[in-house]
Structure 1
Amino acid sequence: MTAIVLHDLGSRRESRAWFATAARAAAESGDGQLHAWVLAREAMVPLNYGAPKAAAGLAERARHVAGDRPTAAKTLAAAVAARAYALNHQSEQARAALEAADALMDRLPENERSDTWLTYGEQKHHVHLSHAFTTLGDTRLAHVSQERALELSAPTSTMTRTLLNIDAAACSHHDGDTEQACRRTVDALTALPVDYRTGLVRRRALDLYEAIPAQHHGERAVKELRDALSA
């Protein structure tokens, strides 16, 4: 839990150190599913902070450790692998991992779908699909997952809802409306208390800004996004 909070805050080195301790303890316990879950969650550190190749390696290791049964850890690992491959421009591998994640999700026992840290419910699934499809440029499927994830996310799930809104903004950029993308991202950021505009949320918004070609950086909406990121 400490590792996850540090990840969300953007403390990458400290997060990886805590994940290493957790993975070692999980391996020593003999609980393969816990070990796989820790590895899959650890993969989200390089995934979200600029090292998708390393993330894919960790996610594939988690898939291997999880074995063949449809479990929450196995499904999470496949979804994280899909996101990593998408970020690494390996669309074929990303779509194969997405298909695997969907197939596992369909077979998950009910006790693996409840809303806890170690389970994997529909809301979590669509959060991962939103980012994967957004990164792949499949904006139609991304919007479907964004809408479903928002329906299933509690109003108090501030970070999750903000990330989904930034995914939706990235889809607008991909579909050619960069002005709309910037305005949606600025709205998502300014709706947050200042202390929340850091770590993962800032990284995702910065990814969108960096994806905008330099010739558009003088446009008003793009400048407003840059200013929001600098605030």
Structure 2
Amino acid sequence: MDDLRPSPAQIPHRLLSDPRFVHAVQTRDFTTVFAMAREHGISYYRIGETSGMKADRVSKVARGEATVTTLDAIERVADALRIPGALLGLAARPWENSSPRPHPESDDGDDPMNRRQVLRGALAAGLTTTALAALTESRQPVDLALTADTSPADLSDLETAAEAYGYGYHGQPPTRVLADLASDFVNLRPLLDSPQPVATRIRVCRTAGQMSGMIAIVLHDLGARKEARKWFATASKAAQESGDRQLHAWVLAREAMVPINYGAPQAAALLAEQARQAAGNRPTAAATLAEAVAARAYALSHQPDRAREALTAADMLMERLDASARADTWLTHGEQKHHVHLSHALTALGDTPRARESQQRALELSAPTSTMTRSLLAIDAAACFHHDGDTEQACQRAVAILAALPDAYRTGLVHHRALDLYYSIPAQHREESAVRELHDVLAA
């Protein structure tokens, strides 16, 4: 017997790149979903016909007078409008593997340049709910596809892009770098969808691990630690599937920096230990990073002996690194980065003479455009004054640093590092004028 069910009322593909629509789908806000579908030419009657709902009920949902709550109804709407199951928290729908993909040159608004503009626009106002929904929409397809096979299509271009992103911000606002990275990351999806030889699969997964790890780094720098952890989870999955233990160690060590910088050093120490185990004892960038991060975690959790042991190991590995591992990128461990880690660990240990040496060396090696790194080093230097008994000087320096920063850098990691300085000041000194000024600047 012929299948007499009506064909689906497929939404335009560009809607799946619209942050407002994606957020509505992810929160199961069918009022917005139905209203936006109608704005794009799909009538309430058509939605009802294909989803098994009455047209007047669809209209009521669109007006906010009714809701779609049952699992069966949600699945029928997903199938009717061809909304991928993952966006609704469902398993992949039966039609997803067989649905034709739009031609890359089709004028449906989903080309890479348009997607990049959408991300930049969403992120321009900061890490809002809409912006995070757009980022999630970039991550989920690749995250879900990491269990599939791959195709080599534009792999070389994406590997080159990942290497270029590894050189950091280069004076660009973090949100701009985040938008570009997430836009290119989505281009890995077709490479993860087509069967290919194992060697190609490894390359794609490695690139996915690098890119998602770098997205996590930027989110961490911006203060979105929960989102950063989600991207690190994707990076870890990709690294493990690639079989690259050094990449996995790098991801774990980088992830450990989230709890280090946001007040959970013991959790950071656990991640750093996992990174050390994954990296092994060979002199690699990941192994050196893992030791340096472990030193910071132990210093902050008041385990000075373990911190100094990790510092010694980090220095020994650093001396043995080859030139390629010493490059100044997010994916390697250059001398500048090494001294940035040492600065924080030694400052936390109260070893201010050595901390100042590392701060000075790191500044000498930092580009003038390295705004965030220079700010963090300056706050470490201010904290050294506090450790040496000059709390007034420490607060004045921290206030000057924060006041001189562009808005895009005054939140997130830099703000939290300055907050750590404030909280390290004993309560009996909180009413002193310099300390109050630091408090007011942080509160603002």
TM range (shorter): over 0.9
Aligned to 1:49: 262
Aligned to 1:162: 375
* 3-state SS of paired residue (1:111): coil
* 3-state SS of paired residue (2:359): helix
Question: What TM-score do the two structures reach when normalised by structure 2?
Answer: 0.52
AA matched with 1:188: I
Q: Deviations over 1:113-165 (max 9, x none)?
A: 11222111100000000000000000000000000000100110000000000
Aligned to 1:178: 391
2:283 maps to 1:84:
no
Q: What stretches of structure 1 move > 6 A for 4+ residues in a row?
A: none
Residue correspondence of structure 1 range 55-74 to structure 2 within 5 A? 55-74=268-287
Residue correspondence of structure 1 range 128-147 to structure 2 within 5 A? 128-147=341-360
Q: Deviations over 1:47-85 (max 9, x none)?
A: 110110110111111111012210000000000000000
Q: Deviations over 1:74-98 (max 9, x none)?
A: 0000000000000000000000000
Match of 2:306 among 58, 80, 93: 93
* 3-state SS of paired residue (1:13): helix
AA matched with 2:245: G
2:243 maps to 1:15:
no
Deviation at 1:230, TM superposition (A): 1.3
Alpha-carbon distance in structure 2 between the residues aligned to 1:102 and 1:72? 12
Alpha-carbon distance in structure 2 between the residues aligned to 1:116 and 1:216? 40
Residue correspondence of structure 1 range 22-33 to structure 2 within 5 A? 22-33=235-246
Residue correspondence of structure 1 range 114-153 to structure 2 within 5 A? 114-153=327-366
Q: How many residues align?
A: 231
**The 10-residue stretch of structure 1 (78-87 or 212-221) with the greater mean CA deviation from structure 2:** 212-221
* Conservation of the 8 A alpha-carbon contact between 2:352 and 2:384: yes
Question: What TM-score do the two structures reach when normalised by structure 1?
Answer: 0.99
Instruction: Name the Cα RMSD after superposition.
Output: 0.7
Percentage identity across paired residues of the two chains: 74
Deviation at 1:214, TM superposition (A): 1.2
AA matched with 1:131: H
* 3-state SS of paired residue (1:112): coil
Alpha-carbon distance in structure 1 between the residues aligned to 2:440 and 2:406? 16
Unaligned runs of 5+ in 2: 1-213
Alpha-carbon distance in structure 2 between the residues aligned to 1:117 and 1:137? 27
* Conservation of the 8 A alpha-carbon contact between 2:328 and 2:335: no
Aligned to 1:220: 433
Deviation at 1:197, TM superposition (A): 1.1
Deviation at 1:39, TM superposition (A): 0.5
AA matched with 1:162: S
Which structure has the highest helix share of the two? 1
Unaligned runs of 5+ in 1: none
Alpha-carbon distance in structure 2 between the residues aligned to 1:170 and 1:64? 32
Alpha-carbon distance in structure 2 between the residues aligned to 1:194 and 1:52? 28
2:432 maps to 1:207:
no
AA matched with 1:72: A
Q: Which has the higher contact order (CA 8 A, sep 6+)?
A: 1
Alpha-carbon distance in structure 2 between the residues aligned to 1:117 and 1:181? 30
Alpha-carbon distance in structure 2 between the residues aligned to 1:193 and 1:115? 24
